[in-house]
Structure 1
Amino acid sequence: MAEIIISSSSKEITKIIRKELQILFRENGFDSRVLNDNKENRKNSLPKERVSQLEACKIIGISLPTLYKEIRRGKFKQYSVGRNKYLLRSEIIEALKK
């Protein structure tokens, strides 16, 4: 059995993989822009607009029990990652405009 030694850095390998994925995305009709990864995209990504329940209460100007009631009524949508619950700032603002 032959031994293969790869003498590329992880950045070079990542670049090659990204190019191949972009080709696959384009061939299958998907938007390959999702693969563009730079510091600007990471700074402006979705997790930045996540707010905790308490932060949401401060933005809206209501108590936590009232927030729970409004979530049950469907005025605000709550998301969770594991045990952590959060709301999206943009959705809070949209709901308040209504």
Structure 2
Amino acid sequence: MRITQGDTIALGPGKVALLEAVREHGSISAAARSMNMSYRRAWLLMDELNRALASPATVSEHGGQSGGGSVLTPVGEAIIRLYRSIEAQAATVCAPEIDALTRLIKR
């Protein structure tokens, strides 16, 4: 599922996975590394997401001996929870259609 804002994908599976990685690793750079993504790409995706939201999904802590980090806000946590719930519900309700599509894929 993707939610667009104009021509921009405000929220989709990649941004949700990146939020989960930030939650797990505590920084955008570590999250990017865990996903084999450049820091710049990850930062741009988080910036794009935060700009699309009424309140940001992440906040960055600057400086410090370890270089700071990023944490999810309650909005970021809610996005993950809601998005994964929608996915689970859709998978259950649409199981016959998903099976039909799967059978069309070459094995």
Q: Normalization by structure 1: what TM-score? A: 0.32
Q: Normalization by structure 2: what TM-score? A: 0.30
Query: Who wins on radius of gyration, i.e. which is larger?
Result: 1
